Amino acid sequence: MSGGRPFLSTACGLGAILLWSTTFAIARSLSEQVGPVTAGAAVYLIGGLLCAFRLFAAGNPLARLRSLPRSVVFGCGSLFVFYPVAIYLAVGLARDRAQLLEIALVNYLWPALTILFSLPILKQRASFWLIPGSALSLTGVLFVMTPKAQLSWDSFCQHLQTNPAPYTLALAAAVAWGLYSNLARRWSNPESGGAVEFFIPATGLALLALRLLVRESGNWTPRALGEAAVLAGITAISYVLWEVAMRKGNLLLVVASSYFTPLLSTLVSVLYLKVSPGPRLWIGSFLLVLGSLLSWRSVSERTTAAPETTPKPSSR
């Protein structure tokens, strides 16, 4: 392998992180115009078409699908499909754009949850730093969700009760992605290739079926069409870039960089949606990033001699 190939593969992973950091902002803007379920269905159906073209270009997609373990197809596939469905519903249920930033931060608990789930699922061993890392991640979320109030369980519950559905969905999505990241690692067969290109169109069909059951009003303006196309491209391209980085790039650098996604996502949302967040949101984002990095480091320190057992979480 040439000296430039690992660098380019690592750059692919960093590019995927940057692309994923834009999803919450664009998804909210699109959902405001056409409805959250309609938005999700359009994005994943278009992304699914792109994946289908790539699968047929590679040749014999049915043989590749049959080579995948059933646990991956049905177990990981169900978790993968659930994640965007929950996220788009949470994005749509946010009462305003400011609350969207809080919901996004709840979703970004998934890196810390990935590490926690890796202990029983992948039999990882963690150092003492997992405890303060997990505590910092939770504190960051609690800090953001107790605005203009003293940090306490009562103030957190009071804020949560104002609109509990999107927070619950965002947390459920974080749990689902944490499980997916570990189970995909445990159940996958390296010789069978990845399954994401099958999961994306399946997600589009699931959201389309849900759209037929719910009523949404919206207007497909040129901006909405453009945002749907951009998000679909981000969805398909970022997964391909991430897969390249996981196979050929600097794994430790890319995974460590992925934990800065909450800060990047907040920054993009502030600029794109023209939201003015308070200092608590930035402090909470920083605590979440720091906690996730400590949690990741608590496991990676003990697995440097056996990197093949390190989970490869997909940054979102």
Q: Please write the tens of the pLDDT for every residue from 233-244.
A: 998 888 778 777
Q: Is 277 helix (H, G, I), strand (E, B) or coil?
A: coil
Q: If you average pLDDT over residues 166-175, what whole number do you get?
A: 95
Query: Cα separations (Å) of 30 from 20, 172, 222, 228, 238?
Result: 16, 22, 11, 7, 19
Residue at 12 is within a domain: yes
Q: What is the pLDDT of residue 211?
A: 92
Residue at 314 is within a domain: no
Question: How many Cα atoms sit within 13 Å of 87 on the Cβ side?
Answer: 31
Number of domains observed in the structure of the chain: 1
Residue at 203 is within a domain: yes
Residue 309 has pLDDT above 50, yes or no: no
Residue 70 has pLDDT above 80, yes or no: yes
Residue at 120 is within a domain: yes
With a pLDDT cut of 90, the percent of the chain lying above it is 35
For the chain, give the number of residues.
Answer: 316
Residue at 21 is within a domain: yes
Token pair 């391209």 in the structure block, residue: 237
DSSP letters, 191-256, are GG---HHHHHHHHHHHHHHHHHHS-------HHHHHHHHHHHHHHHHHHHHHHHHHHHS-HHHHHH
Contacts of 196 (CB under 8 A, 6+ apart): 51, 80, 239, 243
Contact 205, 43 (CB under 8 A): no
More confidently predicted of 107 and 9 = 107
Q: What is the pLDDT of residue 316?
A: 56
Query: Cα separations (Å) of 62 from 52, 67, 91?
Result: 11, 9, 34
Q: If you average pLDDT over residues 144-161, what whole number do you get?
A: 73
Give the ranges where 72-220 is alpha helix by DSSP (H): 77-93, 97-107, 110-121, 130-144, 153-160, 164-187, 196-213
Residue 308 has pLDDT above 50, yes or no: no
Retrieve residue 12's tokens: 């692919």
Residue at 315 is within a domain: no
Residue at 316 is within a domain: no
User: How confident is the prediction for the chain on average, in pLDDT?
Assistant: 84
Q: If you average pLDDT over residues 81-85, what whole number do you get?
A: 95
pLDDT bracket for residue 311 (50, 70, 90): very low
Q: What is the pLDDT of residue 31?
A: 94
In the chain, the amino acid numbered 137 is S
Q: Which residues in 216-226 are b (16+ Cβ under 10 Å) and which e?
A: eeeeeeeebee
Residue at 34 is within a domain: yes
Please state, in angstroms and rounded to a whole number, the distance separating the CA atoms of residues 98 and 96.
5
End-to-end CA distance of the chain: 29
Contact 313, 114 (CB under 8 A): yes
Query: Cα separations (Å) of 281 from 96, 180, 277, 290?
Result: 15, 27, 6, 14
Please state, in angstroms and rounded to a whole number, the distance separating the CA atoms of residues 302 and 6.
24
Token pair 């967040």 in the structure block, residue: 277
pLDDT tens-digit series, residues 215-231:
888 889 999 999 999 99
Model confidence, pTM: 0.85
Q: If you average pLDDT over residues 106-118, what whole number do you get?
A: 87
Burial class of 242 by CB neighbour count within 10 A (0 to 12, 13 to 18, 19+): buried
Query: Cα separations (Å) of 109 from 86, 140, 292, 304?
Result: 15, 10, 8, 24
Contact 84, 207 (CB under 8 A): yes
In terms of residue numbers, what domain contains 142? 4-309
Retrieve residue 219's tokens: 């207007």
Q: State which H helix or E strand residue 14 sits in.
A: helix 4-20
